[in-house]
């Protein structure tokens, strides 16, 4: 996507910046383009539907009913074609063979529907066929269309509401815009935070970035909740990235009409949550980024509360996810039996949801929406009928909202609800695209952010509501693989290796692991030349556990066998006795006992 002001398309993504344009007949497209694939060059015509296959649409032509048409532009290494699209109508009205394998500037001018082409500031030609529709509308879907995807690079894309002259085109040929130029209708420069939509330059305080894969209709409800924010809609945008969903997610863009600016990115092939979030971030213009998962319903104060943390404090990373609430908004036939039981119990006595759930359970289990919108978006109602998650509660109770003395504060980077400035996100470097599937990509980002001085903050005012959905059985294995990638990326980092304990059969809390880490750090700093046998045992045992994670589908005790000679065992016991005598590191004795349960010494 955007990289140094360049939009890169690999033939996989379509970006819809505006659903419609309210200008017609007279307008001008301008952009720099470099294509990577040839396209079919049609004969010029004003009838027929030649543009259905083999085209490389930089601008996908929107569809209109009879009497109007949407304008589209297809560019290949061998030439450019300008189309118009309505019912049974997709002809190329202007075609010109040209080498676009290197950067070329293009201007397509529509002067009362009469098309003209400029390349590199030079007038090239007029249309070969006159327009036969009453209204010709510009389109703002970039990168492709159902009838063909573009592969290559585009930069400095702009749409004007006037027919630009040759002098006007050349005046800005090599210049970026400030967004205040006369007749400028659409323009974006994420690097400088400039966004012009519908001819209005917007000062965007926030970009909400939402990845989605097969989350319909939950993603629809989430977008609706963002339209109910107590925050100026003209100061916010939502970048919604559909990661090749096979459900009805594609329809969401058509059925929502929010007050905020909605940008929809549709991918043809699945790229994974790390890559998808990065795509959204590269398009986003807002000074603050808020990452939200597609199934999250946000309280009306959600965005305002996030933004307030970033008015000061460039390196704040803010989340309320540790106390997020959970709610069922849809009865889904793919729920597990435990989820169905939980859904029924959580809505016991509810005047609308309870009867619907009973009919769902007793009937054919057709999916059904459980709450009308007036209840679904009422904060008091959500609070009353949702339920909490206590997993992180001991962290907040022990270390507070700013995680004082908690070495794992970076796990507050939970991407179903987290914000940070655009500048800091880019400084950290975005999400690592090597993490595929479920889990750990957000914590790995948080770990890097911590190294760059991030201040992690939990705030109860930014709690949102997770809409329950069927749990994918492969999530556990995907999460484990991503954790092992995390360890491989940072070999020898003890704080990351200790997290392997969370994947063992017996329960352990993160505060307990934090105490192990703190104890190891203190004893190794105070006594760098002592306790070598104990330290070697800890490192060896942790590495064995990590190795076994690669091999075992289900973890059971004992997890691994460890080879410790009698001499080494004597040395370890001597170290343990000395640590016990210090009476300052009781958690290290507990750590040894725990590791001894997991790793059996087969020489004993």
In sequence order, what are the beta bridge partners of 148?
145
Is 17 part of a structural domain of the chain?
yes
Average pLDDT of the residues in 414-434? 96
Position 71 in a domain? yes
pLDDT digit string, tens, across residues 54-64: 899 999 999 99
**The residue count for the chain:** 604
Count how many domains the chain has: 2
pLDDT of residue 474: 81
Average pLDDT of the segment spanning 355-382: 95
How many helices and strands, by DSSP H and E, does the chain display?
Answer: 18, 33
Does 566 map to a domain?
A: yes
Given this model, what pLDDT does residue 2 score?
A: 44
SS3 60: strand
Mean pLDDT for the stretch of residues 166-178:
95
Q: 158 pLDDT band (50/70/90 cuts)?
A: very high
State the residue range of the domain holding 508: 491-601
372 within some domain = no
Q: Nearest to residue 340, comparing CAs of 364, 325, 361?
A: 361
Please state, as a whole number, how many other Cβ atoms lie within 10 Å of the Cβ of residue 486. Answer: 22
Give a yes or no: residue 46 inside a domain. Answer: yes
Q: Per mean pLDDT, which range of 237-246, 401-410, 472-481, 494-503 is the poorest? A: 472-481
Share of the chain above pLDDT 90, in %: 87
pLDDT of residue 602: 67
Where among 153, 187, 221 does a domain terminate? 187
Quick check: 404 and 421 in contact, CB under 8 A? no
The H or E element containing residue 79 is strand 79-85
Cα–Cα nearest to 76, from 109, 44, 99: 99
Q: Mean of the pLDDT values across residues 385-396?
A: 93
What SS3 state is found at 584?
coil
Listed in sequence order, the residues at least 6 apart from 42 whose beta carbon sits closer than 8 Å to its beta carbon are 50, 51, 81, 91, 92, 95
- For residue 554, what pLDDT is reported? 76
Q: How many CA atoms lie within 13 A of 523 on its CB side?
A: 25
Rounded Cα–Cα distance for residues 535 and 527 (Å): 11
Pure H helices in 94-152: none
Residues forming beta bridges with residue 74, ordered by sequence position: 57, 81
Give the end of a domain, one of 126, 156, 187.
Answer: 187
> Of 31, 49, 50, which is closest to residue 41 (Cα–Cα)?
50
| Residue 100 within a domain | yes
Q: CA nearest 503: which of 471, 540, 536, 476?
A: 476
Boundary of a domain, candidates 121, 156, 187: 187
The pLDDT value recorded for residue 604 is: 56
The confidence score (pLDDT) of residue 129 equals: 85
**pTM assigned to the model:** 0.94
The C-alpha atoms of residue 204 and residue 342 are separated, in whole angstroms, by 41
d(CA 291, CA 209): 5
> Whole-angstrom Cα distance, residue 140 to residue 157?
10
Q: What is the pLDDT of residues 64-76, one digit of tens each?
A: 998 999 999 999 9
Is 466 a member of any domain? no
Tens digit of each residue's pLDDT (9 = 90 or more) over 349-360: 999 999 999 999
The pLDDT tens digits of the residues spanning 281-320 come to 999 999 999 999 999 999 999 999 999 999 987 899 999 9
Residue 155's contacts (CB-CB under 8 Å, 6 or more residues apart) are 5, 6, 7, 31, 32
For the chain, what is the mean pLDDT? 94
Cα 418 from Cα 361, distance rounded (Å): 36
Check pLDDT > 90 for residue 127. Answer: yes
Over residues 25-44, mean pLDDT: 96
What is d(CA 576, CA 365) in angstroms, rounded to the nearest whole number? 59
**Which CATH number goes with the domain that contains 144?**
2.60.120.200
pLDDT at 1: 46
Is residue 352 in some structural domain? no
Supply the pLDDT for residue 603.
Answer: 63
């Amino acid at each position: 996507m955007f990289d140094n002001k360049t939009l890169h398309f690999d033939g996989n993504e379509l970006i819809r910046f505006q659903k419609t344009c309210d200008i017609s007949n007279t307008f001008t497209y301008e952009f720099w383009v470099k294509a990577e694939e040839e396209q079919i060059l049609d004969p010029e015509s004003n009838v027929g539907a030649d543009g259905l296959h083999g085209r490389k649409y930089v601008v996908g032509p929107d569809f209109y009913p009879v009497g109007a048409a949407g304008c589209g532009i297809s560019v290949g290494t061998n030439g450019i074609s300008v189309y118009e699209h309505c019912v049974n109508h997709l002809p190329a009205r202007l075609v010109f063979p040209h080498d676009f394998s290197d950067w070329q500037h293009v201007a397509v001018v529509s002067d009362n529907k009469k098309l003209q082409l400029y390349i590199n500031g030079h007038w090239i030609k007029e249309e070969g066929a006159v327009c036969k529709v009453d209204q010709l509308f510009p389109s703002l879907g970039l990168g492709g269309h159902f009838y063909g995807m573009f592969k290559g690079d585009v930069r400095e894309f702009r749409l004007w509401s006037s027919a630009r002259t040759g002098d006007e085109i050349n005046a800005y040929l090599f210049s970026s815009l400030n967004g205040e130029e006369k007749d400028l209708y659409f323009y974006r420069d994420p690097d400088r935070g400039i966004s012009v939509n519908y001819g209005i330059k917007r000062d965007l305080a926030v970009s909400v970035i939402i990845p989605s894969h097969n989350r319909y209709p939950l993603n629809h409800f989430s977008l609706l909740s963002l339209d109910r924010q107590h925050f100026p809609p003209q100061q916010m945008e939502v970048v919604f990235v559909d990661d090749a969903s096979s459900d009805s997610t594609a329809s969401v863009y058509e059925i929502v009409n929010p007050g905020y600016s909605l940008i929809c990115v549709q991918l043809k092939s699945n790229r994974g949550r790390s890559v998808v979030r990065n795509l959204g971030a590269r398009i986003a213009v807002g000074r603050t980024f808020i990452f939200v998962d597609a199934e999250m319903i946000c309280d009306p104060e959600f965005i305002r509360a996030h933004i307030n943390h970033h008015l000061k404090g460039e390196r704040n990373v803010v989340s309320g996810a540790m106390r997020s609430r959970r709610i069922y908004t849809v009865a889904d036939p793919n729920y597990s039996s435990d989820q169905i039981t939980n859904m029924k119990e959580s809505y016991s006595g509810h005047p609308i949801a309870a009867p619907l759930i009973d009919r769902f359970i007793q009937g054919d289990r057709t999916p059904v929406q459980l709450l009308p919108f007036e209840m679904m978006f009422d904060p008091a109602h959500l609070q009353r009928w949702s339920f909490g998650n206590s997993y992180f509660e001991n962290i907040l109770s022990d270390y507070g909202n700013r995680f004082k003395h908690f070495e794992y504060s970076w796990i507050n980077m939970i991407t179903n609800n987290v914000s940070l400035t655009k500048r800091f996100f880019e400084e950290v470097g975005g999400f690592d695209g090597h993490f595929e599937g479920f889990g750990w990509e957000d914590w790995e980002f948080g770990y890097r952010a911590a190294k760059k001085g991030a201040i992690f903050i939990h705030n109860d005012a930014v709690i949102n509501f997770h809409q329950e959905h069927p749990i994918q059985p492969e999530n556990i294995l995907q999460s484990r693989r991503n954790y092992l990638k995390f360890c491989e990326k940072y070999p020898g980092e003890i704080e990351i290796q200790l997290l392997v304990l969370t994947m063992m059969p017996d329960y352990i809390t993160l505060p307990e692991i934090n105490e192990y880490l703190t104890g190891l750090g203190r004893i190794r700093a105070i006594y760098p030349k002592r306790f070598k046998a104990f330290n070697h045992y800890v490192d060896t045992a942790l590495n064995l556990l990590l190795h076994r994670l690669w091999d075992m589908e289900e973890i059971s005790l004992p997890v691994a066998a460890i080879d410790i000679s009698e001499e080494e065992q004597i040395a370890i016991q001597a170290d343990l006795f000395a640590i016990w005598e210090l009476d300052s590191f009781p958690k290290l004795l507990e750590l040894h006992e725990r590791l001894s349960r997991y790793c059996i010494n087969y020489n004993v």
